[in-house]
Amino acid sequence: AERPPSRIILLGAQPTEPETEYGWIEAADAASPFGMTSAGPVCRVAGFREKPSPDEARAWLEKGSLWNTFVMVGRASIFSEAGRLALPRLHALLRSAAPLAERPSGSAVLEEAYRCAELANFSRAVLESYPSLLAVSKMPPVVWSDLGTPERVFRSLRRMGAMLPWLRSSPALRRRPDRT
């Protein structure tokens, strides 16, 4: 994270299917990486798409894009700059509330700032809108899932061969067959 201090570095996972519930990262040309890890180069990001349509997800898979694991690292200053660019009103509210946070009424001031802020999705507002602020490091070759739904948990347990007695009778297993 120190080599490209002006970037938020995302950890990208190798996709196994055209998943529409994940974000997708398109790495730029690896010819001029910021650095190297055991899994390969840390590259600029050419594009980011949060929760694409099925057709878009297939296209991102075909061009070799990565899944966004939502694991990221970067300096606080680059996260602040990303917030300023993507959500200027929220950034201004929090910036004006910050000096008051140490006062006895500080938590109320911060709560009010958040109440006044517009709703936003970080992946769409920041990652999708400002790929120039991003870099990506590909994970080593491991199976990854965000386990965000019961079905994904059950699928992962099945892939590992963990068929526990209580798992065999789970309604979620009967509802959705494994897509692997």
What are 102-141's pLDDT values in tens digits? 888 778 888 888 888 888 999 999 999 999 999 999 998 7
User: Contact, 1 vs 74, CB < 8 A?
Assistant: yes
pLDDT for residue 148: 77
Please report where in the chains the tokens 């606080």 appear, as a residue. Answer: 76
- What predicted TM-score, i.e. pTM, was given to this entire model? 0.77
For residue 4, give the nearest of 130, 135, 139, 132 by alpha carbon: 135
